[in-house]
Each structure stands twice: as C-alpha cells, then as structure tokens.
Amino acid sequence: MTVTSFSRHRNPWEIVTAELFPRLVDKARENWALENNIFNLGCRGYVGKPGGERENYLTWVRDLANGEYKLPWDENVKIRDGWKYYPDGVQLGPLPK
C-alpha cells in the first residue's frame, strides 16, 4: 500500500509507505474499533431516504435495518468507542443526557 500524504510540517510530495499483514489487520479490528468504519456503520446506524427503496438485495442492509448487523469478529472487539480506553486509560463516567 502506498499513500501520498500532505502536512504543513512535511514535504507535500513525500511518499509514505506501509506494509500490511492481513492477520494483524484483523487483530487491529478486534482491539480498536473506534476508527473502524465498517464497525461504526453497524453501531451508529444509517440514513435512508423517506419513502425511498423498500427492498435491498444487499443482506447487510437488511440486517442493519433489523438491528441484527454483526461483523464476524464483533464478539472479540475490546474498544467500541473512545469513552473508556482499555485497559487503564481515561474513564470519564456516563455520557451526558
């Protein structure tokens, strides 16, 4: 994977590279779901058009609408949001209502 990055403190034409290992990526998804878009989609819901399409051939959309959307590694996720950091980080108490 190669990414072109931009920063005020770096050369804008700098090439940043990373080597990714599928097994470690899967482990990262279990350990830190806070910035995992596929996880956040299922947890934070979705937005649809009022009066829009009633049926969708994508099963995950149906599962999401029925509250049954789960990722294969969902049971193993340790950090689901940034409110409490694992294992002994910041603990801020309940969310304000």
pTM exceeding 0.75:
no
Cβ pair 77, 33 in contact under 8 A: yes
The C-alpha atoms of residue 16 and residue 6 are separated, in whole angstroms, by: 10
Q: What is the pLDDT along the chain (97 residues), one digit of tens a residue?
A: 444 455 556 666 777 777 888 888 778 777 776 666 666 666 554 555 555 555 556 677 778 778 888 888 888 887 776 655 555 555 556 655 6
Q: Under DSSP, is residue 64 helix (H, G, I), strand (E, B) or coil? A: helix
